Amino acid sequence: MIKIAPSILSADFSKLEEQIKLVEEGGADFIHLDVMDGHFVPNITFGAPVIKMLKKVTTVPFDVHLMIEKPDQYIKDFVDAGADIITVHQEACIHLHRTIQYIKSFGIKAGVALNPSTSIETIRYIIDEIDMVLIMTVNPGFGGQYFINQMKNKIIDLRKLINSRNLNIDIQVDGGIKLDNIKEVESYGANIFVAGSAIFNSEDIVYATRMFKSV
Ligand code: DX5
Ligand code: ZN
């Protein structure tokens, strides 16, 4: 069963409560929150205080994608804000194993994101500690980009690695996911799909979310 995580990066920021309620009505499995610091990625979005306020308006679990340097310094803030999953970038963590343990010490799930050029080999020896691997299918920083086709083999290889070890780890894909490619990307082995512009730039957000859920 696929899971859908609408990214509010492409939402109307003046109506966040209303827009989150629309994807909730459409059956969203997670709310994907893209936190950017202007250093790890060339863009700035929002931080823990905004997430804490948004947590009050929905019961949909919060999937927090940290595109920030030195994430350890801020993880507790995001836990306190109501994160249910925190995903850090492999490229931003010098001591990734320690960071994963730290996230899980709060009783929430830990994800690790890999930029397009980062190999799955970088997580091979610690993969059994991770709840979710996020394969970036665009270069992080912006919504509305095109799916990078070379990520097909990366998702396939990751699914093989996870299955060969009999692990129960989600594979999330983020970037360029649309109604016309989600089925194909699912066939590579991904099971959680982030969709930003494809949902929030549509005329009818509830309907768009339902369409994603029913593919
Ligand atoms: C990109 C973000 C994505 C983004 C996806 O850095 O991590 O979550 O919102 O946007 P779309 O679905 O428009 O590619
Ligand atoms: Zn994201």
- The total number of structural domains in the chain stands at 1
Ligand nearest to the CA of 145: 1
Distance 137 CA to ligand 2 centre (A): 10
For residue 45, the model assigns a pLDDT of 98
Q: Which two tokens stand for residue 92?
A: 């931003």
List strands edge to edge, sheet with 62-67. Answer: 3-6, 192-195, 170-174, 132-136, 109-114, 85-89, 62-67, 31-36
Mean pLDDT confidence for 182-195: 98
Confidence of residue 23 (pLDDT cuts 50, 70, 90): very high
CB of 63 closer than 6 A to ligand 1? no
- Three-state secondary structure call for residue 20: helix
CB of 111 closer than 6 A to ligand 1? no
Confidence of residue 1 (pLDDT cuts 50, 70, 90): confident
**Tokens 């919060």 belong to which residue?**
62
The domain that holds 177 is classified in CATH as 3.20.20.70
**Chain center to CA of 137:** 11
Domain that holds residue 141: 3-214
- Three-state secondary structure call for residue 176: coil
Ligand nearest to the CA of 4: 1
Residues known to be catalytic:
34, 174
For residue 84, the model assigns a pLDDT of 99
For residue 28, the model assigns a pLDDT of 98
CB of 10 closer than 6 A to ligand 1? yes
How high is the mean pLDDT of the chain? 98
Neighbours of ion ligand 2 (CB under 5 A): 34, 65, 174
pLDDT digits (tens, 9 = 90+) for 84-136: 999 999 999 999 999 999 999 999 999 999 999 999 999 999 999 999 999 99
